[in-house]
Amino acid sequence: YQRRVHGVVTAGADQSAKIWDLMTGQCVASLNHPTPVRSVGFSHGDTMLLTVTDTSYGRTPAIHIYNLPDGGTPKSIKEARTEFNPMLSYETPEKITCAIWGPTNETIYFCSEDGSIAIYDVNAQKEACFNIAHKANCARISFDRDYSCLLTASHDQCGKLLNSKDLKERKKYDSDKPLNDGAISPLMNHVILAGGHDAQSITNISHRQNKFETRFFHKLYCDELANITGHFGPINALAFAPDGRGFASGGEDGFVRLHHFDDDYFKYKD
């Protein structure tokens, strides 16, 4: 999402990434790829775009970086009327699950199905740091407000808080189910994590593990503080509101749920 110019980019299994004008709902550009697109993201300042392709059709997983015309506004992209080609592509042996821009657009952080996390130096065009943080698929990564920490969510049933400079582990948050996403509150010392077993696994697990919850942890002490139910399938996406006064969750049940904190939540003392 482009906060400055109201654009949205989506990744699809139809082998394309699409850029949309948020105000009109119109697709202003479609970037074709040789495989399904696994992850997308606008750079800070909205002048570049990254996409991630996977291993389908015998391809090697790769990160692709595109320059966007005239500040990357939906209007300028639509008026460009050109076929977009990546200015840079970086191939990796691991199947990438998520990639996000670093704080100054000089780096890209990405995680993979083998549990690894890496920092790619855009200028040097090579990996600057690499760490096997998890024993199974690392599904998603996200930064805290000042980009000093990186939160992971993994199918090995834990999330970790890593130092964003060297990817060393700072904290660990244990769960009893695979985790698909997490987020760090910009206001409180809280971390939320969520996931759940897929439909194929549900018959082999207990009722307690079958609940699809968003779990709240203390960021520093790693204690579980609360959990919120509501979804009827695995939760795949989480995001705090920019002001920290609520969060959104998206699940395989087809619903996006918006949660607003009441005043008592903010009375909690760390």
For residue 264, give every residue at least 6 positions away whose Cβ sits within 8 Å of its Cβ, in sequence order, or none. Answer: none
Whether the full predicted model's pTM is greater than 0.95, yes or no, is no
Q: Which amino acid does the sequence have at 193?
A: L
Q: Where are the alpha helices (DSSP H) in the chain?
A: 74-80
Give, as one character, the DSSP assignment of residue 2.
B
* CA–CA distance, 1 with 57 (Å, rounded to integer): 29
**Contact criterion met (CB below 8 Å) for 83 and 62:** no
* CA–CA distance, 21 with 4 (Å, rounded to integer): 12
What pLDDT does residue 87 have?
95
Give, as one character, the DSSP assignment of residue 78.
H
What pLDDT does residue 203 have?
53
Neighbours of 2 (CB within 10 A): 20
Nearest to 37 by CA among 60, 10, 58: 10
Give, as one character, the DSSP assignment of residue 218.
E
Task: Calculate the alpha carbon distances from 73 to 52, 60, 85, 154 in Å.
Answer: 21, 31, 18, 34
The pLDDT profile of the chain, 270 residues, written as one tens digit per residue, is 666 668 899 999 999 999 999 889 999 999 999 999 999 999 998 899 999 999 999 999 999 999 998 777 888 888 887 788 999 999 999 999 999 999 999 999 999 999 999 999 999 999 999 999 999 999 999 999 999 999 999 999 999 999 999 999 999 999 999 999 999 999 999 999 999 987 655 555 554 555 799 999 999 999 999 999 999 999 999 999 999 999 999 999 999 999 999 999 998 766
